Amino acid sequence: MQNTPTILQLDHISKSFGVVHALKDVTFSVKQGEIHALLGENGAGKSTLIKILSGEHSPDSGTVSVAGEQIKSFHPSVSRSFGISVVHQELSIFENLTVYENIFPFQKNHSVFIPKKELIKKTEESMSRLNLHISPTAKMSDLRLSIQQMVEILRALSENAKIVLLDEPTSGLNSQETSILMKVLKQLRNDGITIIYISHRISEIIEICDRVSVLRDGSYITTFENDENLSESKLVSSMVGRDFEKSIYSKKVSVIEEDAPVVFEANDFTKGTVVVDASLKLREGEILGVFGLEGSGTYELSRMLFGLHGKDSGSLKFYDKEIKKITPANMIKNGILYLNNNRKDAGLFFNMPIADNLAAPVLDRLTKNGLLSKRLIQDYTLSFVAQFSIVLNSIYDTPMSLSGGNQQKTMLSICLGPHPKMLIVNEPTRGIDVGAKQEILNFLNMFVSKGISILCFSSELPELITLSDRIAVMNTGRITGVIECDEINEQNVMQLAAMNINAK
């Protein structure tokens, strides 16, 4: 690749938001027709860089050139005209329209009527080039996430994109869908399209990328060639600036006695065919992991256990007492809190001060004579800011101003406030960087050592293997087995999770 021309050149790009230097003097280049990975912790400046390339932000200083031509004004339409297209993590599709309408949404034509037949034909052509088989007239909302993403990539190509940015493209995909995406990306590279690939998943990056550029704290660190010298640990250590001897994940050694008392017992939880006869037993001071592939019902089960999701049947026992009313308020009263899986939907009050966020479940404790005590709320909040080393400017800022890792730590603080005896955590490290992940895992282990029992739902198997004393595996709505600590390994878990169980 030595002689391939440079298609994208960034020179001394800096960008600040108030006191935050999101990008500091970033200089690097992308060659034509390569898959170039962009790697960095949350807050490293990746998203800002994407927004500059897509034209949503303009840099404070520095220049961006595409094929030698400098971009003078930054606007999405300008970026598009330079052939830059972004496929965001949250897809921007028209759910109620069909595939071909999504691929050619802004087709300029001079006739009054949309040339439907022509567009369908064009859609089919572009698909066959990539070996895809999607009906051009299918409705988007009927398609799976992975297919919708393909459609969005095809749209980028229909706009004659030369450079396609993919932001965390595999975050919602299973392994089979991921491998299809990888094939498509390789095909695009062969067609001369340049791909900038942003992902947390280092193994994917090593699998597919030609080169990897690393950002840390807004600065450009280095670019690696993807050759035999590149290893996962090398990438991780350049990202976090520390040398990880090995990955943050290591197999847990359980210290929970087999006959430790059961504190939480869920019996026969059922909701249609989504969750069927699911029963779980959580022992005192243990972390029970619950694993399942997408669509296995783990998400629904976790919500049913906290009264966030309707159920047909099922009963709960907590410290030998039946919990009759399964509602969040009553669960909290009993000493159980729930860490939501997606903080964007629920879990934080994004327009309220961080202090108010923390106070939410413990208002009564921060009240004097029926009135909220500002002083108590401040002290309460600051104690958690210290305990979890939450990085913030002011406790009266909103969580919007925090990085993903700090938002997650804020959410964890909220859940820890009411002194829970048990936590139900759902995807505790979703969308945060490696450093923060490690911190969260440490916190969870610390909670357990303080006597809090944890039911941990996660789709990241290495994380569960690191955390769990036992792992319960779900498969198409049923719990197909509980693996004891000694027998936990990826092979055993995957077998229970992916094995074909007969539908009837």
Point out which residues bind another protein (CB under 8 A).
Answer: 17, 19-22, 41, 43, 217-218, 308, 328-329, 331-333, 338, 340, 345-352, 356, 359-361, 363-364, 366-367, 370-372, 378, 382, 385-386, 389-398, 400-401, 403, 414
Closer residue to another protein (CB): 225 or 397: 397
3-class DSSP assignment, residue 76: helix
Q: Which residue has the tokens 């208002």?
A: 363
Closer residue to another protein (CB): 173 or 332: 332
Identify residue 40 by its one-letter amino acid code: G
- E strand or H helix at 304: helix 298-304
CA distance 205 to 133: 26
Tokens of 394: 């002011």
With contact defined as beta carbons under 8 Å apart, do 62 and 26 qualify?
A: yes
Identify residue 148 by its one-letter amino acid code: Q
> How far are the Cα atoms of 77, 168, 295, 425 from residue 489, in angstroms, in the given order?
49, 27, 22, 21
With contact defined as beta carbons under 8 Å apart, do 208 and 186 qualify?
A: yes
3-class DSSP assignment, residue 251: coil
Q: How far is the CB of 373 from another protein (least distance, A)?
A: 9
With contact defined as beta carbons under 8 Å apart, do 139 and 97 qualify?
A: yes
In DSSP notation, 43-110 reads TSSHHHHHHHHTTSS--SEEEEEETTEEP-S--HHHHHHTTEEEE-SS----TTSBHHHHHSTT---S
Closer residue to another protein (CB): 301 or 395: 395
Q: How far is the CB of 199 from another protein (least distance, A)?
A: 20
Closer residue to another protein (CB): 230 or 376: 376
Closer residue to another protein (CB): 357 or 466: 357
Q: How far is the CB of 22 from another protein (least distance, A)?
A: 6
Closer residue to another protein (CB): 192 or 310: 310
Closer residue to another protein (CB): 112 or 371: 371
CA distance 185 to 195: 8
CA distance 484 to 465: 11
Phi-psi region of 3 (alpha: psi -120 to 50; beta: other; left: phi over 0): alpha
Q: How far is the CB of 183 from another protein (least distance, A)?
A: 35
Q: How far is the CB of 461 from another protein (least distance, A)?
A: 26
Phi/psi for 249 (5° steps) reads: -95, 135
Q: How far is the CB of 20 from another protein (least distance, A)?
A: 5
With contact defined as beta carbons under 8 Å apart, do 116 and 103 qualify?
A: no
Phi-psi region of 67 (alpha: psi -120 to 50; beta: other; left: phi over 0): left
DSSP annotation of 5 reads P
Q: How far is the CB of 452 from another protein (least distance, A)?
A: 17
Closer residue to another protein (CB): 43 or 297: 43
SS3 helix, strand, coil % of the chain, rounded to 5? 35, 25, 40
Closer residue to another protein (CB): 149 or 340: 340
Q: How far is the CB of 326 from another protein (least distance, A)?
A: 13
From the CB of residue 448, how many other CB atoms can be counted at a distance below 10 Å?
A: 20
Q: How far is the CB of 370 from another protein (least distance, A)?
A: 7
Closer residue to another protein (CB): 211 or 303: 303
Q: How far is the CB of 375 from another protein (least distance, A)?
A: 10
CA distance 413 to 419: 10
